Structures are given as structure tokens and as C-alpha cells.
Structure 1
Amino acid sequence: MFIRKIFLLLVISLPVFAGVKNLTLNRAINILKKDNLELKVARFNEQMKAYEAKAAKGYNYGKLDLTVMGMRSNDAGNVFGFKLQSREADFGDFGADEFMNNFGACQGGDMQACADMYGKPPSSLNYPDARNHFQTKVSYMLPLYTGGKLTEYGRITQSLYRMSKFDTKKLLNEKIFQTKKAFYDISLVDHYISNLSKIIRNINKLESIVRSMKKEGYAQDIDLLEVQARKAEAQSMYNQAKLNKDLAYQFLSFLLNREVTSIKRMNDIAPMPKFSKRTLEANNIDIQKALLGLKITKMAMKVEKANFLPEVGAFAEYGSADNVLWNDFLDKDAYTVGVQVKWNLYNGGIDAANLEKAKVNYMMVNDQVKLAKKGIALKAKKLKTEVLSANSNIANYKKQLRFAKRVYENYKARYKEGMVSISDVLIKQSKELEVLLKLLTAKNTRNTKIFELEALINKQKSASVYNIERVVKPKDMNSTTTKGERS
């Protein structure tokens, strides 16, 4: 019974530990948004900025403090002050009893008493007994006017919170770029492996032909060795491609923070996104951050201007004190209220210099915004040009691949007739493999530029809109391997 329970528990747990299979790009992006560790860290930073903005806003509402103090002292000033705060001070604390005794003696003709009456410090005032003192008070301080400084601080921290959200969005775009690229890389590697498998099969057929011709005396051992060497080379490339595919899956698993064992293959050509200069400036995150930074510098300039204006604050305090904690609280309570105006009239020109510095910083950031707009537009044009160039290369390599395949088939037939050497055949096959590699490299370059462009214009469309999650059926793979121009 116990073994059956363990087996049932393992069966239930299998889906939890198993890797994700047949993963689509849309689902991968949803997992990325939820589970990517770097994005989680960025969102924590967002939360901290939000709390900073909330804290800055709280300064407008002042500060309310409750203070409870307990002390004991025999210091003359402290003891007298304690009695005053407790509303218990009397003439005896000033040495009235000593004064009256000296006064009476002076009236009786004691001249020393007359001298001590005014010249001798009273012992009860200067050497009092130690006293306990407990004070409870509530104090409230409220800024009434700060020249707009607190308001601008609140706006700055709120803008910094928005800036952190832009940073998170930019990181998300980068991770989506990496995820899409991983999907396309895996699809391209799958296609490459498929083509290598076909080439290896062709080499096996060629090896059989050479063996047959060797038996008939039309081929030599060196021909067979040359074919086998080429076969080993192709097999090595095949194994390396599989390792690269495994590495791509590991990177994808790292991005999604979960194991991915297989994906749905996709079209190996990503579509070109449409954009204009206007939409680029409106959506690009770097430009939005630069514009927000310009607003922040303007707010900072207002903060510096506030240093030339007065600050007004209000203060209120209520409490009670006694030598026993909370004894006769209402009978011995007291309050204090007040208003303070503080205005710095001169500080050596520091405020003026800081204001000028803020103005220069604003002008600098304003030019940086213009530079960002032009730089982003130039980068977008550059990426678009590189995509168009890759399109031309892809079309060219497709034609070259189709031609190379036909040449190889022609040379293989001519070899059977003894018209060319096996080296000639293998050279043509090498040409076919070389063009295939160039084609796949051009496609990979093009896709990379497309994804960079999407991240640049901050236009992450869903995979269903792009129709990039079409599963490649077995007949598509066979068609692709027999007609290289579709690759």
C-alpha cells in the first residue's frame, strides 16, 4: 500500500518536473513576462521607486510624533525645570525659608544674617534632592510653504518611478528579442540539420556508387577514401549543429526560467515591421526616457529657484509632565503652538550658481533629446537597409543553391560515366554546402535585424498576427529538403 502511494505521488509529480514540449512563441513570451528572473528584479525596482514617490508625497502632510521620556537628576537646573514643567514649583524652591530665617535674625541685630540674606546662595535651590521626571508629549510639524520645493520633489520621484517602468519595458523588449531569436535560431538549425541529413544520405549513395565502380575496376581506393573523408566531415558538421541546437534550448530555458524540450517550428523568415518617423518617435523607449528626463531637469530647475523663496512652517505640541508617569495628566498638561518663517538672504552665491547649473543641464538634456531622436531614426534606417540587403542576399543564395544542387547531380551522373573525377563531384557538393551555409547565415542576420527593429520601435506584435508559429509538417520538411530555394 505504501509503495502504491509513492508511485501515485511520482506519477502526479511528473508534469511538474517534465520540460515544456511543443512550446509556441506566444506562450513562451507569456512565460517570459511572468517568470524571467531579470524582469522580476526590474519589477522589484519599480516597486521601490513607487514607494519612494509615495514617501516624497508624505512630506506634504507634516510629521506627528509621540514622545515619552523618563529621567532622574539632582542637577539644580534640571530639578527646578522638572518642577516647573510639573507645575509644582514654589517659593521654597527659591530658598524662601532660608531668606525668612536670615531676615528674622537680621531684625534681631545679627549682621551676618543680614549679609547672608542677600549674599548667600540658598541651599534648597542649588542643592536640591534628586527628582524623577516623566514627560509625555505629542508634537506636529507641518510645512506650510516651501516655494514649491516639496511639490517638485514629489513630481521628480513620480517621474523616476515612470522612468523605472520604461527601464522594465526596455528590458522586456530585449528579452522578447532574445526569445524570438532563440525560436528562429532553433528553426534554422533544424532546417540546417535536415539539409545536412540529406547531404549525408547523398554521400552514402555516392559511396555505394564508388564501391560498385571499384568492383568493376572503374574506381580506385583513393576515390573511396575521399568520399569517406567527406562523409566524416559532413557528420562532424551534423553533430556540431545538434550541439548548437541543444545550446539554443538551454538559453531559451534560461530566459523562461523553466526547462524547454521542444518548440513548434516556425517560418524561417520574419516579416518586416511597418513604421514611420512619427510612430518611431512616439513609441521608442529611449526617446520617451529622454523626454521624461527633460521634464525631470525642468523640475530640478524649479527646485533650485525655490531656494530664493521663504519657507514657512507650523508647529504644535501638547503634553504633560510629573514625577510619576501619567499622574494628574490633564491637571499638569501644556501646549505650544507657533509659526516659523525662514528666508535665506545670502549664502555666498551658492544658490545662484546651482540655479545656473540647473539651467545649463536643462539645455544639455534638451539637445540630448534631439540627438536621441536623430540617432534612433538613423539606426532604424540602418536596420531597414540591412534587412533589404539581406533580402537581396537571400534571393541570390537561393538561386545559387538551386544551381549548385543541379550541378552536383550532373557531376554525379558524369562520374558514373567516367567523365569526371570523384574530386570534381565532391567539390561541387562542397559548393552546395557552402551556399547553404551562406543562405542560412543571411536568414539569421535578417531575422536578427528584424527583431532589433521591433525592439527599437517598441512594437511587439503577437505571433498570431505575424503568422510565425505555423507548424512545419513532415511534407513541408521533405519539400524543403528537395527544393533548397524554399529554405
Structure 2
Amino acid sequence: MKKLMGILLLFSSTVFAREIDLQEAIDLALNNSKTLEKASRNTKIGELNLGRAFKLALPTVAYEGAYVKTEHTMREMYFSGDTVVNNPGVNKYDSKDGYTSKIVATCPIFQGGAILGGIKGAQAQSNILDYTYLKEKANTRINVIDIYSDILTKEKNLKALETSKLQLSSKYKEQEEKLKMELIIKADLLKTQYALLNVESEIVKVKNQINIGKKKLKIETGINTLEDIELEKINIPTDLSKNITLDEDMKVAKTSSLNALISKNNLKYKKAEEMVAFSDNLPKVNAFIEYGGMERKHFSDTMSHEEWRGGVEINWELFSFGSGIDEYRVAKENYKIEELNDSLTQDSIEIDLITAYSEVIRLEKLRKATKSSLQASEENFNIDRERYSAGLISTQDFLDSEVQYREAKINYNQAESDYLIAFEEYRTLLI
């Protein structure tokens, strides 16, 4: 029964394959990507750290308590002119103890810029994590497009190979008959047989590549690996470069792209670190108010009292052999290094965008060239097929023409896919 159910499940999944289009695949990947979920959780951590930084500027309330127990022995204790030595009866207990207990509310007044620097640093870090998450979404999108397009390209190549196999199989059967009638030599038949076997080997290879590509797509989108999928075709427009204005896009990429924004916030973060390091050399002023007191037992002057206290406290490390100044200098140098990194990022953005644009232009021309080559190869193959049937060209000439036509199809399919990916990668640099 279990075997029967398995066979039925396999049959149903084969007959009723799930059809998905490119946008659906992208949406599924964005919803199910574990890498994106990780980046999303990092953004929440950034928000929490920012909240913590703001809360450092608010008052805090703490409880402070201590219990102390000491011995009377090993020293003389004076009580009203008597000592334990000359009047042992004075010491009624072997030890004395007491405790303090109070509630303290503290509010920072001046921290030398540490709190403000912490807020600015946390804000920059939160922005970096947000932009990293968006960048990861863009990377996920382009990755899905790449996998999806590659599968479609391989399916087109498979169709070209299967068409070639049918044509070669037909010619091979014709040649077998001609060989029996001694109209051709065996070498011609062997050449066609080799070409046919080579095509069959390529078919097996491409089928495996399609299966692997679909597995990758299922993992990326979260689709059940046992479910069969069929991909809808993509209509790839021509002359996409007409929608590109490089100068304007360059300004966008350098100012508001994710790479540029991450770099600018890294710079802000280092500036905040410099501010915090400088604040360590300044006094810290806090206002406080507290309520509580101490209670002492087994003393001659046993007491218990509580009271309100309040005031302002100042902490300032006046001398530490310059370690605080050195720490500030290190932070300042780190900021200068980050300025250089930001400049390098700007240069990298410019180079990457120009390179991506050049690649779009190159592949746009290559797509047109391969299309013309495909048309020419198709026409040439149709002529050579007729000429071969009429005995005007050799078997090798016919096979060469067939290979040229098949490779022209494959080259055009790849050029289309590469053109789409190049354009999408260019767009990604502007996000």
C-alpha cells in the first residue's frame, strides 16, 4: 500500500507540475530566505541597542545594601573608659555586626559627550544593519533571477539539442540504407554516429544541469524539493540601455545607493567612537538622591536610623599617564582611516557602475550579433541540408553546418540570459 501511495504521489507530482513565474519565485525567496531572516533579526538588535543608548540619558534607581560582621578579639576596645582587658564583662558578645540599606536615584547631568556619542554610534549601527538587510534582499533577488534565467537557458539549449538529435537520427537511418546500397562509405556513417552520440551526451549533461538548477531554486524559494516545478518563460526586452542615463545614475549611486549609505554610516560610527573616547578625559557629573541608613548591633553605641540625602557628585580622572589621551588619538586615527575607506568606496562605486554599464552595452550588441549569426546559420543549414540530400556536399560538410547551427542557438540563448543578468546587476548598484 505504501509503495502504491508513493507511485501515485510521484505520478501526480509529475503530471501536475507547479508552474511559477519569475516574480513569484522572487517573492518566495524573499519570504523564506534564512539569510534574510538572519539579517532581519540583526536589524532588531540594532533597534534595541539604539533604545539602550537613549536610556543611558535617563535616571536610574538602584538598591544598595551590605551586611558586615567583625570580631572583638585581637584588639582592645574602649567603652566609656573601660577596656576589654581590665573589664572583660564589658564585652558581652564574641562579635559585632551591622548592615546598610538604601535606595539611590541617579541622573546624569554631564558625561563629556559619552551619552550623545553612544546615541549617535547606536543610530549609525542601526542604519548599517537596516541597509545591510536591504542589500541582502537585493542580492537574493538577483540570485533568484540568475538561477531562474539559467534554468530557462538550459531548457532552450536542451530543446536545440533534442532537435539536433532528431535530425541526426534521421540522417543516420538514411545513411544506413545508403551504405547497404553502397552509395556511401562506412566512414560517413561513423562520422554521423559520432555526432549523434556527442549530442546525446550533451543532452544528458544539460538535463542534469536543469535538475541541479531547479533544486537550487527550490532551496532558495523554500519550495518542497519533492515538488516538480515548471518555469514560465521570460520576455527579455531589447535596447535596455536606452533607459539608462549613466551620469544621473552615477550621482544616485554615490549618494543614495546602499553601498554609499553603509559607508557614510560607518564614518558616522567612527566619529561617535571618537566622541566617546574624548569624553573619557572629561569630568562626569551626576545628580543623586537617596533614602536609607545603617543599623549596628552588638556595639556599645547600637543605632538604627534612616534619612534622605541628595546632591551632585563629580568624578574626574586627573592623571593616568596619558592613557585616556592615547585612546582618543587611536579613535581619531580610526576615523581618518574610515574617511579613506569612504573615499575608496566612492571610487569603487564609480568603477563598478561604469563596468556594469559597459557590460550591458557589450551584451546588447552581442545579443544582436548572435541573433544575426543564428539567422545566417539557420539559412545556411537549410541550404546545406538540401545540398547534402542532392549529393552536392560531403557528410562532414553537412555535420559541420549542423553543429554551427546548433551552437548558434546555444550562443544566442546564453547571450539573452547574460544580457538580462547584466542589466539587473546594473540596477542593483543603484539600490
| TM-score over 0.5 for the pair | yes
**TM-superposed deviation, 1:133:** 4.8
Tell me which amino acid in the other structure corresponds to 2:373.
Q
Cross-structure match for 1:214: 179
**TM-superposed deviation, 1:322:** 5.4
Structure 1 position 164 matched with structure 2 position 134: no
Distance 1:363 1:124, change over 3 A: farther
Matches of 1:314 and 1:411, distance apart in 2 = 97
Matches of 2:16 and 2:274, distance apart in 1 = 55
Cross-structure match for 1:484: none
Tell me which amino acid in the other structure corresponds to 1:265.
K
**Are the equivalent residues in 2 in contact too, given 1:95–1:124 (CA < 8 A)?**
no
* Equivalent runs, 1:177-256 vs 2, <5 Å: 177-256=142-221
**TM-superposed deviation, 1:396:** 1.6
* Equivalent runs, 1:38-437 vs 2, <5 Å: 38-67=35-64, 73=69, 75-76=71-72, 95-96=79-80, 99=81, 120=85, 123=88, 128-130=93-95, 133=98, 136-259=101-224, 261-268=229-236, 271-272=240-241, 274-275=244-245, 276-319=249-292, 332-437=305-410
Matches of 1:48 and 1:340, distance apart in 2 = 33
**Are the equivalent residues in 2 in contact too, given 1:145–1:311 (CA < 8 A)?**
yes
Matches of 1:118 and 1:68, distance apart in 2 = 32
**Are the equivalent residues in 2 in contact too, given 1:94–1:125 (CA < 8 A)?**
no
Matches of 2:317 and 2:147, distance apart in 1 = 61
Matches of 1:279 and 1:132, distance apart in 2 = 72
**TM-superposed deviation, 1:57:** 2.0
Tell me which amino acid in the other structure corresponds to 2:62.
D
Matches of 2:66 and 2:323, distance apart in 1 = 40
Partner SS, residue 235 of structure 1: helix
Higher-Rg structure is 1
**Are the equivalent residues in 1 in contact too, given 2:145–2:421 (CA < 8 A)?**
no
Greater strand fraction, Structure 1 or Structure 2:
2
Distance 1:229 1:118, change over 3 A: closer
**Are the equivalent residues in 2 in contact too, given 1:163–1:292 (CA < 8 A)?**
yes
Structure 1 length-normalised TM: 0.74
What RMSD over aligned residues (CA atoms) do the two structures have, in Å?
A: 3.2
Matches of 2:17 and 2:66, distance apart in 1 = 63
Distance 1:121 1:51, change over 3 A: farther
Matches of 1:250 and 1:124, distance apart in 2 = 92
Unpaired stretches in structure 2, ≥5 consecutive residues:
298-303
**TM-superposed deviation, 1:346:** 3.6
**TM-superposed deviation, 1:279:** 1.8
Matches of 1:218 and 1:240, distance apart in 2 = 35
Matches of 1:146 and 1:200, distance apart in 2 = 80
Distance 1:309 1:42, change over 3 A: same
**Are the equivalent residues in 2 in contact too, given 1:74–1:129 (CA < 8 A)?**
no
User: What percent of counterpart residues are identical?
Assistant: 16
Structure 1 position 34 matched with structure 2 position 2: no
Tell me which amino acid in the other structure corresponds to 2:28.
I
Distance 1:128 1:199, change over 3 A: same
**TM-superposed deviation, 1:120:** 4.8
1:7-63: CA deviation from partner (whole Å, max 9, x where unpaired): 9xx99xx99xx9982122222222222210011111122222222222222222243
**Are the equivalent residues in 2 in contact too, given 1:74–1:128 (CA < 8 A)?**
no
**TM-superposed deviation, 1:164:** 0.9
**TM-superposed deviation, 1:430:** 1.5
1:417-468: CA deviation from partner (whole Å, max 9, x where unpaired): 222221221111122223333333333333332232122111xxxxxxxxxx
Distance 1:76 1:56, change over 3 A: farther
Tell me which amino acid in the other structure corresponds to 1:274.
I
Matches of 1:213 and 1:119, distance apart in 2 = 133
Counting matched residue pairs gives: 406
**Are the equivalent residues in 2 in contact too, given 1:144–1:314 (CA < 8 A)?**
yes
**TM-superposed deviation, 1:212:** 3.9
Tell me which amino acid in the other structure corresponds to 1:49.
G
Tell me which amino acid in the other structure corresponds to 1:262.
E
Distance 1:124 1:365, change over 3 A: farther
Matches of 1:66 and 1:122, distance apart in 2 = 41
**TM-superposed deviation, 1:348:** 3.0
User: More displaced, 174-183 or 129-138?
Assistant: 129-138
Structure 2 length-normalised TM: 0.83
Matches of 1:127 and 1:323, distance apart in 2 = 15
Distance 1:214 1:131, change over 3 A: same
1:133-152: CA deviation from partner (whole Å, max 9, x where unpaired): 56543222332211121111
Distance 1:39 1:126, change over 3 A: farther
**Are the equivalent residues in 2 in contact too, given 1:188–1:268 (CA < 8 A)?**
no
Unpaired stretches in structure 1, ≥5 consecutive residues:
78-92, 100-116, 325-330, 459-487
Tell me which amino acid in the other structure corresponds to 2:338.
V
